[in-house]
Structure 1
Amino acid sequence: MGLLNFTREPVPEAVSADMHNLNQLSAQQFSALTEVLFRFLTEPKEVERFLTQLSDFATMNKISLGPLKNIVKSILLVPNGALKRNLSSEQVRADFIALGLSEEKASYFAEQWKVNSPTLTRLAVGQTLMINQLIDMEWKFGVTAGSSELEKVGSIFLQLKLVVKKGSQLENVYVGELTVLTRGKDGKAAVWGLGCCWGQGSLGAEPG
């Protein structure tokens, strides 16, 4: 196994076996399980509902709940690391393939990551502000160059710098591309996407 994007630490040996078991699921089963996982990731307070849904999934598909929980634990290693390291959907896909998941299933999970990562990013930033005390905030606007591929002449983005208090120390938290506004060839403005990166440097997440 080569270098992984979501972590620089060795992964547990059980992860490989869990990915093998995931490959045994049908596309429909994997899709259903992925939906349960992302619903929990985007609504992390609903632990009881999550466990109930896992139990229902295990019963419906005749899978033992214990091994299923181990599989889920292994899956969640990747999105948790991806959020911290600002990984794209393609990097998430590559990591799952490196861990032993089939290309089809890895691609499906990566697409769901691309859809849900903006929400996960906002949750992470919100948790940062809840845990720490906000001292100051600065912001600035910028405009990116146009891209023929995206059929736009440019993007307007907002960058924030938050100063938070952690204990007796002050730390800068950078939030980039919080909102993105694009303007197409017809001159009409439209929201293209929502991304974010935060931390003391490059920590964060973005949609692929």
Structure 2
Amino acid sequence: MASELYLHTCLLRRQLEEELRKSGLRSALPAAAAEVWAEFAIATQGQLLAASSPLESLIDVEWTFGVTASSSELEAVGSTYVQLRLTLSGDNGRARFAHIELSLPKFYELLHQLESAKAQLEVL
């Protein structure tokens, strides 16, 4: 995670320096401004990551698979979707529900991201 943060910050630094040069600034000013920005960004992002905490916990997931049988749009007929019902626990301990509907490709993309997150957490 720290290496990703470093690479992202370096990329932003190069982008900022390039934009400052394109805007007409010459000499060492674009490089110096980008350097200060990079140092500030690393410190700020680190503090934000340290201060962040999950506000809600995932308790349960229910899912339903469906196929569109009728629609005013001909292209939508026969398309597949997944409906998710997430049970979340907030700060006060009360459960609340969040409903999400995804196309099948978006569902598989979400599933892949969740599996990647799980694998990264298991490494920690």
Fold conserved between structures, TM > 0.5? no
| TM-score normalised by structure 1 residue count | 0.28
* Greater RCO, CA 8 A, separation 6+: 1
| TM-score normalised by structure 2 residue count | 0.43
Higher helix proportion = 2
Larger Rg: 2
